[in-house]
Amino acid sequence: MLLALGCKTMREGVIATIIFFIAGVLMILAGVKIVPEIWHLNHIVLLLGFLLLLLAPIILVSTFLLSVLPNAKERMDKCEH
């Protein structure tokens, strides 16, 4: 069941979003400040950083959309907050 949402998947979605966001910011900063311009390596690192930065809100929005599906309220009410 890919679209099954529970307490664990909600936490995992938020944690994955935070990790992707921080990794994206760090890769962008590394691409700008640290990585040399040999073979356009800095552009590749910047691209990967921007992709990670783009995936962070996509994961968060998809987790939110799964939480507003019908029957998700019963499963989320059983969570310990």
pLDDT for 25-62, tens place per residue?
Answer: 999 999 999 999 889 999 999 999 999 999 999 999 98
Q: State the sign of the Cα–Cα–Cα–Cα dihedral 37, 43, 45, 46.
A: positive
Query: Which residues, at least 6 apart from 3, have a Cβ–Cβ distance to it below 8 Å?
Result: 66, 69
Going by pLDDT thresholds of 50, 70 and 90, the confidence category of residue 6 is: low
The rounded mean pLDDT for the chain is 86
Kindly state the percentage of the chain with pLDDT values over 90: 52
Token duo for residue 80: 């310990």
Predicted pLDDT at 49: 97
Cα separation, 51 vs 65, in Å, equals: 21
In the chain, where the domains are located? 22-60
Alpha-helical segments (H) within 1-71: 7-33, 41-67
* Type of residue numbered 59: I
Residues shown for the chain: 81
pTM: 0.80
